[in-house]
Chains A and B, each alone.
Chain A
């Protein structure tokens, strides 16, 4: 029998016991829905965290002194000297880090809270230095305008959230801001940066004293970023960027000043963090090891993302197992329905065999019925799963907004998940149909025809 004949007869048979087959199909759809809902939640959460981490900084190692007990590294470092004996993170250390094989450039992480005036309105935000090397970073994908023209240019790049703030828009969700719209009125405009310069010496030009002088700098807005290049810095996250060399020459009071900062002079700065740009993400691990041996702490996105990915894999597996349990129950429903159908249609199977149906025809017919229930249940399940996901997202966002957080997509149904759920539902249904189909095919036609 041709496939379309099997499918047509299967559809007819399914219609004949509409209620029972609909309930079985509903069972499959609930199974598929739970699988889709569970996995889409896992995928959504993973994407949310990945978004937060940003893809930009995978080739970056952040180096801090062990003397700074606020360091990123929570675990005890076993390599290198203890905190009290570890070296200062100064120019000498920076040179050593820059010399580590695989490091393209090492530059101090300089950032401070800047007071800005734009169109006579004051604004306060974190500002950071960016080396010219960052021009090609993924973090600047979709940026409007240009990168800095030179390493000392009096130019500034804004993060789009801050750009929106300058324009008087107060939006919580970055996805609601179109970078081109906020960039267009700001590019080429000027803003005034007010900052505190640390000047060494004073009266006694020894190392132990310095004075603070208020300075102003006029900057031209050259770019607005779509992404968040500084997303990993938490509360110290900058939303305004100026060229690194310009920043270094400003000797501005830093956001992370520590007791060690008092050792510093304008000639010999002590940094809280040095950023090492590595020649490819694959070398991050070896560079981190080498820098740790120099006596510093290191942190990279790779460390965080590895453990995060591992954690999400495990979560996905568990969510998948819970989702599959419902589908397993549904598959037992298919077996039950089809075995019942064999009993009810015993005589019909006998008639079919008497008029020329082969075992394969009968088997194909039951497979087609199981497959049809699987496909219908799968489609319905994906729709239900999608609706559940939407509902979870909607409910969570209501809660988040009420709690003062920004809206987040904690749920995602990628195309591959829909395709995989449909395929899985179809395959599980066919497997469930194996036993009933084989049983129906083996029916003795003489016995089947006698059945009343």
Chain B
């Protein structure tokens, strides 16, 4: 009878420290992407709170959430989500338009972000003219353009071959380490999570079933 309510994320209590690299692990439908959307301010919880930098996202208006997404969060997606009609440079510039950055500064800022991800030579290309790895790097440059504190990556290697996936993940790790940027990675690939994340949080049926530091990563850090 009627619609039934599905709790995508239920009773989750979780604290992520500044500069942490956290992986949300789980099978399809486990609620990891829904949790990521809540942290991204794209969705609001029906109850409870999501506090980022001392602000409860559940209490913010739609306008305030837009400002939060603009300045605090950068997102990359499995399917890249680039706008096909725009060039690489224009895609990266897009968040700057919403942040009302002067037109004269935008080109240089976008070019610099693309340089960071190793795509200086493809500024005028359309996304369709790039490989999957290159498209994801464009998405990464776009996510970084407003210098957010928090990078949310939803299955960023899901559409990439393993070599390109590794390149993208290495890039994310460098950003985490050099800029002290907090990274939340959603993936169903345990190997990937164990290779890059410092902390592994497993979800099933919208609930956290495990939350532990990643020993492999700690070991790797110790070695380095």
Asked if A pairs with B, the answer is yes
Which residues does A use to contact B, with CB under 8 Å? 1-2, 4-5, 9, 12-13, 16, 347-348, 350-361, 445-446, 449
The chain B residue sitting closest to A355, CB to CB, is B95
Q: Are A355 and B42 in contact (CB under 8 A)?
A: no
Q: Given A356-B70, A356-B146, A445-B42, is A351 in contact with B99 using a C-beta cutoff of 8 Å?
A: no
Min CB distance A353 to B, Å, is 7
Q: Are B98 and A1 in contact (CB under 8 A)?
A: yes
Question: How many A-B pairs with Cβ below 8 Å?
Answer: 66
Q: Are A357 and B75 in contact (CB under 8 A)?
A: no
Measured in the bound complex, the distance between the Cα atoms of B85 and A236 in whole Å is 74
Min CB distance B50 to A, Å, is 14
Q: Are B81 and A356 in contact (CB under 8 A)?
A: no
Q: Are B77 and A356 in contact (CB under 8 A)?
A: no
Q: Are A355 and B94 in contact (CB under 8 A)?
A: yes
Task: Answer yes or no: B97 CB below 8 A from chain A CBs.
Answer: yes
Q: Are B67 and A358 in contact (CB under 8 A)?
A: yes
Task: Answer yes or no: B207 CB below 8 A from chain A CBs.
Answer: no
Q: Are A360 and B63 in contact (CB under 8 A)?
A: yes
Measured in the bound complex, the distance between the Cα atoms of B106 and A340 in whole Å is 31
- Interface size class on chain B is 20 to 34
Interface of A (DSSP majority class): helix
The chain A residue sitting closest to B100, CB to CB, is A2
Which of B43, B66, B143 has the most A CB atoms < 10 Å from its CB? B66
Contact with A along B162-179 (1 / 0, CB 8 A): 000000000000000000
Q: Of B70, B81, B97, which is within 8 A of A9 by CB? A: B97
Min CB distance A294 to B, Å, is 78
Query: In the complex, what residues of B have CB within 8 A of residue A350's CB?
Result: 81
Q: Are B66 and A353 in contact (CB under 8 A)?
A: yes
Query: In the complex, what residues of B have CB within 8 A of residue A449's CB?
Result: 42, 77, 81
Query: In the complex, what residues of A have CB within 8 A of residue B81's CB?
Result: 347, 350-351, 354, 449
Query: In the complex, what residues of A have CB within 8 A of residue B97's CB?
Result: 1-2, 5, 9
Query: In the complex, what residues of A have CB within 8 A of residue B37's CB?
Result: 446
Which of A358, A359, A360, A361 has the most B CB atoms < 10 Å from its CB? A358
Contact with A along B103-128 (1 / 0, CB 8 A): 10000000000000000000000000
8 A Cβ contacts from B42-73 to A = 42-43, 62-63, 66-67, 69-71
Min CB distance A327 to B, Å, is 30
Min CB distance B42 to A, Å, is 5
Which of A16, A352, A360, A445 has the most B CB atoms < 10 Å from its CB? A445
The chain B residue sitting closest to A5, CB to CB, is B97
